[in-house]
Structures are given as C-alpha cells and as structure tokens.
Amino acid sequence: MKFITAVRQLQKECEFLGITFTELISDLEKAPLSFPNRTIEAYKVYYTHRLHLIHILLPQKTRVVQ
C-alpha cells in the first residue's frame, strides 16, 4: 500500500466514525484490533512513512561560513 492510499483509507475511517485524524491515530495506538484489517495496514504504512518524513524534514545544522 502506498502512503497516499494509506492516508485516504485513514481519512475514510475518520469520516465513517465521525472523528478527527488525530483521534483516529490515538485510538489505533490504544486498540488496533478494534479496527478493520485494511485500516490497521494503512496505519502501519502511515506510521512507517511518517518516521521517514520526520527524519527528512528535521532541520539540519548549517555551517556558518566566515
């Protein structure tokens, strides 16, 4: 499953449950087995890619040129 597909699946689950994306992620972390398999797989893809994105987007120390 691609990252975009995973996010769309998670958004569909949010709409179905009537909760925000943050609430869904929190609920998935607390009780993942209370969700459909497709949503659990989408969360795994989202979580993996999120970690990669955080690593890429963290500001790197820049050298001061004198």
**pLDDT of 64 over the 80 cut:** no
What is the tally of structural domains in the chain?
A: 1
Q: What is the rounded distance in angstroms from the CA atom of residue 52 to the CA atom of residue 32?
A: 22
Decide if 37 is inside a domain. Answer: yes
Please indicate, yes or no, if residue 63 is contained in any of the structural domains: no
Instruction: Among 7-16, 24-33, 40-49, 51-60, name the one with the lowest average pLDDT.
Output: 51-60
Sign, CA torsion 15/21/22/25: positive
**Residue range(s) defining the domain that contains residue 18:** 3-57
Banded model confidence at residue 62, pLDDT cuts 50, 70, 90: very low
The answer to the question of residue 17 being in a domain is yes
pTM for the full model?
0.75
**What CA–CA distance (Å, rounded) separates 10 from 34?**
14
- Matching residue, tokens 């820049």: 62
What gap in Å lies between CA 25 and CA 10, rounded to an integer? Answer: 9
Q: Decide if 62 is inside a domain.
A: no
Rounded distance, CA 42 to CA 13, Å?
Answer: 10
